Amino acid sequence: MASATTYTGPSAREMFESHTLSKEIIARADDAEPVLDASELALLKRYVTAPESKTEILEELGCIDGDGKVVTAKAQGDGSLVAYIMIQSVTGNDLLSDEDITELKTWFSKA
């Protein structure tokens, strides 16, 4: 889903550092400049609904091989912010807190 305008909100890095990513995703979901497009929102919903399935999801995306190792070129090159968040979680660097995941899960359940 292509946006007619260019995203001008805070960068992903800024949102990670300020712990505002989940709030920005929710606040901008119906905006002309959403943080995530429809396919990324669908992937995020799948992840926050069952965070324990992140490795399986990443395998399906080709970001983790059959041995559970991150396929670096694929992980960095596909441009998926949600895949990046899951990869970081698999490697022990959770970018979304439990509170963020709960907030997103609740929001998705109401959508």
How high is the pLDDT of residue 102? 95
What is the per-residue pLDDT across 91-101, written as a single tens digit (0 to 9) for each? 899 999 999 99
53-86: burial string, b at 16+ Cβ within 10 Å, e else: ebeebbeebebbeeeeebbeebbeeeebbbbbbb
Mean pLDDT of 85-89: 91
Task: Answer whether residue 45 shows pLDDT above 60.
Answer: yes
Residue 65 is predicted with a pLDDT of: 81
The reported pLDDT for the residue numbered 1 is 46
